[in-house]
Amino acid sequence: MSNQEENETDSAPSSNWAELTHVCLLNILSRLTLTQRWTGPMFVCRSWFSACKDPVFHSAFDLETHFESLAESPRWWTPEFERRIDSMLRSVIEWSEGSLVEIKTRHCSDRALSFAAERCPNLEVLSIKSCPNVTDNSLTRIAFRCSKLRELDISYCYEVSHQSLAIIGRNCQNLKVLKRNLMNWDASQHEGIVPKEYLNACPQDGDSEASAIARFMPNLEHLELRFSKLSARGLCLICEGCLNMECLDLSGCINFTSRDIVNTTSNLKNLKQIIKPNFYIPRSVFHTDRYGHWRLYDERFQTDIFRI
* Global pTM value: 0.81
Residues 53 and 79 in one domain: no
**Is pLDDT at 2 greater than 80 in this prediction?**
no
CA distance 44 to 17: 9
Say whether 187 sits in a helix, a strand or coil: helix
Same domain? For 219 and 138 the reply is yes
Q: What is the pLDDT of residue 48?
A: 78
Same-domain status, 134 and 214: yes
Q: Are residues 40 and 91 in the same domain?
A: no
Q: What is the pLDDT of residue 298?
A: 36
Interval 253-271: pLDDT, tens: 999 888 999 999 999 999 9
pLDDT digits 0-9 by tens, 46-87: 877 877 777 888 889 999 988 998 999 999 999 999 999 999
**pLDDT at residue number 276:** 92
On the question of pLDDT at 11 being above 50, the answer is no
pLDDT band at 279 (very low <50, low <70, confident <90, very high): low
Number of domain units in the chain: 2
pLDDT score of 286 more than 50: no
Question: Residue 132 gets which letter from DSSP?
Answer: T
Cα 11 to Cα 5, 7, 8, 292, distances in angstroms: 10, 6, 5, 82
Gyration radius from the chain CA atoms:
25
Domain holding 66, by residue range, is: 58-301
pLDDT score, position 15: 56
What is the predicted pLDDT for the residue at 89?
A: 96
Do 114 and 133 fall into the same domain?
Answer: yes
- Whole-Å CA distances, 119 to 32, 145, 150, 215, 245: 25, 9, 18, 29, 32
3-state secondary structure (DSSP) of residue 104: strand
9 domain-assigned: no
Query: End-to-end alpha-carbon separation of the chain, Å?
Result: 75
Mean predicted confidence (pLDDT) in 118-129: 97
Task: Please check whether residues 96 and 223 belong to one and the same domain.
Answer: yes
Phi, psi of 235 (to 5 degrees): -65, -40
Statement to judge: residues 35 and 170 lie in one domain: no
Q: What is the pLDDT of residue 289?
A: 44
Q: What is the mean pLDDT of residues 217-235?
A: 96
Residue type, 3: N
Which CATH number covers residue 83? 3.80.10.10
* Residue 231's pLDDT band (cuts 50, 70, 90): very high
- Is residue 171 packed enough to be buried (19+ CB in 10 Å), middle (13-18) or exposed (0-12)? middle
Portion of the chain with pLDDT greater than 90, in percent: 63
Q: How far is CA 136 from CA 132, 139, 160, 165, 297, in A?
A: 12, 5, 5, 9, 35
